[in-house]
């Protein structure tokens, strides 16, 4: 019985780890589609990566980031574009591992608010992470600029990095420490270059890949998304600075509006498939659950067999006792 209870406990833990609740996104942005029809259409981003739309593939190449280590002697523009904090990137930075060469244009972040550490755009099985970094690239093999490429079906490629709360992150500090200089919409500030690769998780060969859109208007469906499986960590203080430093509004506006919850809610996947380059924990958990289930059945069978054997033995002992106890007549046989 103890074995059974133990197995059921393991099963429950397994289920708990495997099937997190599917939750819907936060408040939407329905007014976008009135002015920008693409925002109300299909192939939109972000989406929730849930098991029904995920498919493993071994045919995708790992992402390789080229010239990501920017010199600290060169300055790059940090700005508040009214949606996020944005850092301009040189087109000398590019990606390998996609059908074309994609050159970098900018990076920016999405986050929640000081009361909620849930601000990522993409979610995994309904789980929203603390924040999300996007590094945007354009197809420099086919188009001369981001502006020309942005509405083409193969025009853009974005890297997505899911961010969780953890240890202080020195790479992210290269941006976070300058947020005070771009508090208001339209403000810009020059910051020194740093190794952009240090903003990424260690394994660039494990990711979710799908075709989607830019997550702000005009929501063009032109993005090959690569969202890394592994997260990066920033400290609670760094996240709080991100959540509380900036405004959607310009400096002289009478009613300042804090920049918070600047993430778009998840969109319908339609009949899209999200390809993954790694074996899912779900699959392993299901295999584990199956194996544990088999063990439970074996344990039950063993238990029943053992009980039957015990009953049989008890019956045999009773029989032996009955047979071996001589009667008074046998002890004193009549002659």
Of all residues in this chain, which one has the CB nearest to Zn ion in the complex?
134
Residue number with CB closer to Zn ion (105 or 215): 215
Instruction: Given the residues 31, 83, 134, 137, select the one marked as catalytic.
Output: 83
Backbone angles phi, psi at 157, to 5 degrees: -135, 130
Rounded CA separation 97/325 (Å): 87
Minimal distance in Å, beta carbon 105 to Zn ion? 12
Minimal distance in Å, beta carbon 82 to Zn ion? 13
Other C-beta atoms within 10 Å of 135: how many?
A: 24
Q: Is the peptide bond before 205 cis (omega within 30 degrees of 0)?
A: no
Rounded CA separation 56/318 (Å): 62
Distance of CA 132 to the CA centre of its chain: 10
Residue ranges in contact with Zn ion by CB under 5 A: 134, 215
Q: 134 an active-site residue?
A: no
**Residues constituting the chain:** 335
Residue number with CB closer to Zn ion (134 or 229): 134
What is the Cα gyration radius of the chain? Answer: 30
Rounded CA separation 257/203 (Å): 38
Residue of 93, 126, 106 whose CA lies nearest to 216: 106
Is residue 169 within 8 Å of 200, Cβ to Cβ?
no
Q: At what angle do helices 2-18 and 281-324 cross, to 10 degrees?
A: 170
The residue ranges of DSSP E strands in 217-257, in sequence order, are 223-228, 232-234
Rounded CA separation 251/263 (Å): 22
Other C-beta atoms within 10 Å of 318: how many?
A: 10
Residue number with CB closer to Zn ion (18 or 106): 106
Minimal distance in Å, beta carbon 215 to Zn ion? 5
Minimal distance in Å, beta carbon 57 to Zn ion? 25
Would you please indicate which residues are annotated as catalytic (active-site) residues?
Answer: 83
């Amino acid at each position: 019985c103890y074995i059974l209870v133990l197995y059921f406990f393991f099963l429950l833990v397994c289920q708990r780890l495997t099937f997190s609740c599917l939750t819907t996104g936060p408040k939407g942005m329905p007014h976008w589609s009135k002015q920008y029809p693409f925002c109300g259409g299909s192939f939109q981003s972000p989406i929730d990566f849930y098991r029904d739309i995920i498919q493993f593939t071994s045919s995708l190449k790992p992402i390789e980031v080229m010239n990501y280590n920017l010199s600290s002697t060169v300055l790059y523009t940090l700005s508040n574009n009214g949606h996020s904090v944005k850092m301009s990137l040189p087109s000398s930075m590019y990606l390998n591992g996609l059908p074309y060469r994609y050159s970098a244009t900018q990076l920016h972040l999405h986050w929640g608010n000081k009361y909620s550490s849930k601000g990522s755009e993409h979610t995994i099985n309904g789980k929203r992470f603390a924040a999300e970094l996007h590094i945007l690239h354009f197809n420099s093999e086919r188009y001369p600029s981001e502006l020309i490429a942005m509405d083409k079906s193969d025009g853009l490629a974005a890297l997505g990095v899911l961010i969780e709360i953890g240890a202080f992150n020195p790479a992210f500090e290269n941006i976070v420490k300058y947020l005070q200089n771009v508090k208001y919409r339209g403000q810009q500030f020059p910051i020194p270059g740093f190794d952009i690769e240090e903003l990424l998780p260690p394994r660039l060969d494990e990711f979710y890949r799908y075709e989607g859109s830019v997550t702000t208007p005009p929501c063009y469906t032109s993005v090959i998304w690569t969202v890394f499986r592994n997260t990066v960590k920033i400290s609670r203080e760094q996240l709080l600075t991100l959540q509380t430093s900036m405004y959607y509004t310009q400096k002289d506006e009478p009613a300042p509006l804090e920049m918070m919850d600047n993430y778009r809610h998840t969109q319908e996947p339609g009949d899209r498939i999200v390809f993954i380059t790694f074996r899912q924990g779900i699959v392993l958990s299901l295999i584990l659950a199956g194996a544990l289930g088999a063990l439970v059945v074996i344990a039950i069978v063993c238990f029943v067999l053992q009980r039957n054997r015990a009953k049989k033995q008890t019956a045999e002992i009773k029989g032996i006792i009955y047979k071996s106890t001589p009667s008074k007549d046998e002890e004193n046989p009549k002659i």
